[in-house]
Amino acid sequence: MNPKFLKTTSVIVLILILVIPHMAIALSQTTIPELKPGYTRAYISPILLDDEFWKHGAYVEDSSLLSIGKPDPVEFEIADVEFGQVLIIMSRTTSPIVLKGKVLGLIANLPTHMYNVVIAWITRDQLNKLGSTPGVLAILPDIRLDVLVNKEQKVLRELLDKDPVLAEILEAGGSGQGTHHYTVEVTGAYDVWTQYGIRGEGVKLAIIDTGVDYGSPGLGLEAIARDEYGLPLIFDASSLGLVLTPVKATVLTDGYIRVNYSDLYVFQPPYYVFRWTNRLYVRFTGCGGRSGWLTVPDTWYIGNITFNPSVPIKFGLAYQYISTSLGTLYYTIPVIVVDSSGDGYYDTLYADTTTALYLVRWALAVCNVTIPGTLGTTPDFSFADEEPITYGNEVIARDLDGDGIRDYSVGALAGYVYDAAFVILLEKLGTWKELMPQTQPLYGYSTASVIMYETWRYEPVAMVWPGLDPYGDYVVLEYDYHSHGTYCANTAAGRDFYAQTGYGARSISGQAPAAKIAASPALYFGTTAVSIYFFSGFDLATPYGDGSRYLWPNLLVNPWIAFEGYEWTWVYTGEHQVDITSNSWGISGWALWGWNTGSDPYSVIYDYTILTSGTMHFVAVGNGGPGYGTVSSPASSSFAIGVGAATEFTYRPLYGYWPGSSRNVITWSNRGPTELGVLTSSPP
């Protein structure tokens, strides 16, 4: 053989080898690869074949870690129907119409470059039919976020409490000098502030987590990120803070209103509505537990608050859960909504924080918790002493001891709510009133409760609604059911707030104290995905328009649009709502199921929204380290920035341990790489 020819062939082969991968990449940019619906049966996750999933309505790794549980089915006489929230992975070309008759209700249809992720409520019986539907590629469990967050905290507590070797490795660092918390020096944030004068100005950051309590001393009204309408970018994706206000109060002549409790029903997250009576409820699980009912009068004082007399004042009860290190607090908060501007549309809410605080004081006394001041030592059944809450003044919090620092918060008025359990839709359709049992409730609530699945026969779809209903049917108070989200918000962008630390008075501001904070409390992983689309600048495309003001009067004429061939999907609007999202949680279980490749549905959702909108998602890599290949989804996304954990343990000298510096990735932090070999951990 001619040696020259051989050489030429080698060169050609080499060139081909070099060129082919590039060509493949070039092709993939123009022709989006698609999964074709070729299966006769979809892949059904084994988790959906397990009783546990249907018991909780979602994948729950450890039910003892649930922050928000189901009411006792025996006590509340809840029928034992098995239903749950699932992800239906569908071909990109298949319309959700094929799901007609096969789901209880559709929560979202989220497009990606690989497939559509549909989030839906289904019964256990519907699983099989759904699995053999053409276009359906896989059915996967949705996952409860609160359990993930609680598990993470429990593991960390146990590690630090029990492992002397770990304690030795993690030598304390930091002198505690200076006016700020040491962490802003560790990350270099302090240098950026002082050398470049940049403290996060003009940046919007969304905390997708357990909620953000803007009443926290380091946050407040000024920290709230706003959209182009000036509305707060507070998006309650799981309707956790939804307060129905069904009672039209009668205005009396002496500054009082009369409330007819036979019209009262209360939404209890995640998806229950109960008929109620003239009682407020409180329960605390810590220190042996304490629960009780407070009978309330028919009349409530409103003093001389401003309201339009031709529009009825409407009354309802908020039902909040707050999970603390001592135990979980459940309680109700009286709320009214009024039209104060006189245009016929509701615009202002009042929460009776002092009467609610009375319940909190009573319940927490079982743990000898000291609450400062005298507010709420007796219930006042009055809205006259409360601040009017409206857009522009959203934070509902009280300073109890007059030192200028808020001590008690019931949350903030949300800008938007996602009707993920269809409660608002059914309220608008008058369904609750029809379905509420007319028997006299025992205790404070009806024992013959109505729950969501009884009304799901029409397969409703979820929509974005305003946080304060202009028609007065509901209002949404966003709060943090856990504290994890508020902690993350303060760590990232808490304002300069001076507090007594072990090193003296010092600011505990976050890394970017001038950034604005958006928030989405979420209970299910599926609804965090909706938040990702919302904050990345996607909007719901419907036959009633793009919903940019999220008012849906026409929707009530025909709410079943997803099954009639209309477009019903999240579409990018061309401008993102926030610059950055923070996701301080992840799903380790997906690694065990072999789906941590970076092409699992959640990672794909993160990749797609980043590439489409330029919004950057920061995601915790997880606390399952230090092994090789440890990373949880969605940090395994190729384009999201995975964040590992490090610590200086500056608090250790406070407890008499040696100070010292570690400045390294902490042992339990995940490190990656993903199964694709992508390194996502970014240690400081």
Q: Which residues bind Ca ion (CB under 5 A)?
A: 339, 341, 343, 345, 347, 352, 354, 380, 382, 385, 399, 401, 403, 405, 407
Shortest Cβ 201–Ca ion spacing (Å)? 29
Shortest Cβ 224–Ca ion spacing (Å)? 21
Shortest Cβ 401–Ca ion spacing (Å)? 4
Task: Choose between 354 and 615: whose C-beta lies nearer to Ca ion.
Answer: 354
Shortest Cβ 400–Ca ion spacing (Å)? 5
- Give the residue from 180, 204, 176, 201 showing the smallest Cα distance to 191: 180
Shortest Cβ 407–Ca ion spacing (Å)? 4
Query: In this structure, what DSSP letter does residue 486 have?
Result: H
Q: Cβ(419)–Cβ(462) under 8 Å?
A: yes
Pair type for strands 450-451 and 272-275: antiparallel
Shortest Cβ 360–Ca ion spacing (Å)? 13
Task: Choose between 140 and 311: whose C-beta lies nearer to Ca ion.
Answer: 311
Task: Choose between 399 and 473: whose C-beta lies nearer to Ca ion.
Answer: 399
DSSP 608-644: HHHHHH-PEEEEE--S--SSTTB--BTTTSSSSEEE-
Task: Choose between 371 and 541: whose C-beta lies nearer to Ca ion.
Answer: 371
Shortest Cβ 598–Ca ion spacing (Å)? 47
Shortest Cβ 343–Ca ion spacing (Å)? 4
Q: Which residues pair with 542 in a beta bridge?
A: 545
What's the token pair of residue 684? 């400081």
C-alpha R_g of the chain: 26
What letters, b where the CB count within 10 A reaches 16 and e where it falls short, cover 41-67? ebebbebbeeeebbebbbbbeeeebbb
Task: Choose between 245 and 577: whose C-beta lies nearer to Ca ion.
Answer: 245
E-strand spans in 124-177? Answer: 136-141
Half-sphere exposure of 82 (CA within 13 A, CB side): 12
Task: Choose between 343 and 546: whose C-beta lies nearer to Ca ion.
Answer: 343
How far apart, in whole angstroms, are the C-alpha atoms of residue 608 and residue 76?
A: 43
- Give the residue from 409, 413, 299 showing the smallest Cα distance to 346: 413
How far apart, in whole angstroms, are the C-alpha atoms of residue 290 and residue 369?
A: 13
Q: Which residues pair with 333 in a beta bridge?
A: 318
Residue 158 burial (CB count, 10 A): 10
Task: Choose between 81 and 405: whose C-beta lies nearer to Ca ion.
Answer: 405
Task: Choose between 153 and 341: whose C-beta lies nearer to Ca ion.
Answer: 341
Task: Choose between 380 and 419: whose C-beta lies nearer to Ca ion.
Answer: 380
425, burial (CB in 10 Å: exposed 0-12, middle 13-18, buried 19+): buried
Task: Choose between 145 and 302: whose C-beta lies nearer to Ca ion.
Answer: 302
What residues contact 561, with CB distance under 8 A and at least 6 apart? 461, 542, 543, 555, 568
Q: Cβ(326)–Cβ(286) under 8 Å?
A: yes
Task: Choose between 338 and 530: whose C-beta lies nearer to Ca ion.
Answer: 338
**Helix (H/G/I), strand (E/B), else coil: 68:** coil
What's the token pair of residue 494? 């808490």
Shortest Cβ 409–Ca ion spacing (Å)? 11
Shortest Cβ 356–Ca ion spacing (Å)? 8
Task: Choose between 343 and 454: whose C-beta lies nearer to Ca ion.
Answer: 343
Task: Choose between 299 and 661: whose C-beta lies nearer to Ca ion.
Answer: 299
How far apart, in whole angstroms, are the C-alpha atoms of residue 146 and residue 269?
A: 13
Task: Choose between 345 and 657: whose C-beta lies nearer to Ca ion.
Answer: 345
- State the residue for tokens 């205005």: 251
- Give the residue from 580, 600, 605 showing the smallest Cα distance to 528: 605
- Give the residue from 244, 246, 272 showing the smallest Cα distance to 76: 272
What letters, b where the CB count within 10 A reaches 16 and e where it falls short, cover 478-500? bbbbbbbbbbbbbbbbbbebeee
Shortest Cβ 500–Ca ion spacing (Å)? 14
Shortest Cβ 341–Ca ion spacing (Å)? 4
Q: Cβ(640)–Cβ(663) under 8 Å?
A: no
Shortest Cβ 410–Ca ion spacing (Å)? 12
Q: What torsion, rounded to 10 degrees, do the Cα atoms 137, 140, 145, 151 define?
A: -130
Shortest Cβ 211–Ca ion spacing (Å)? 21
